[in-house]
Amino acid sequence: MTTIVPIASMPGFAPRTSVPAEDRLIAGAPAFNTWEFDSALSGPARWGQVRTGIWQATPGETRSIKGDTLEFCHILEGRVEIVSDDGEAWTFGAGDSFVMKPGFVGRWRTVETVRKIYVFIEE
């Protein structure tokens, strides 16, 4: 098992394609591409599953519900607007990084096709 996993911003393998679940779609017809680079149990750490990769979405708006998942995002290109159910709003673009903590509930609006590096950590 390797302990270093390079994340290429332009992966050399085919993505998994998907669309939002019907109950998560708010507006538009976004399409998603996911290139998962690694998925592993975190070992002796408190967290369970850790997944890393590249995710791309075309414009549209979806419901985002993190549940018990923590997500780190680094935007490579594009622009998104995120609004929590309590009214806080953020805009992120190329070069920005952020963490969505467990319990986040709100809206994710892809304004310009976005490509991001993600790290999901699930309990």
7 contacts 13 by C-beta, under 8 angstroms = no
CATH tag, 20-80+98-122? 2.60.120.10
What pLDDT is stored for residue 55 in this prediction?
A: 97
Which one has a higher pLDDT value, 49 or 104? 104
Q: What is the pLDDT of residues 3-24, one digit of tens each?
A: 888 899 999 999 999 999 999 9
What pLDDT is stored for residue 47 in this prediction?
A: 64
The structure's pTM equals 0.89
Q: What is the pLDDT of residues 59-99, one digit of tens each?
A: 999 999 999 999 999 999 999 999 999 999 999 999 999 99
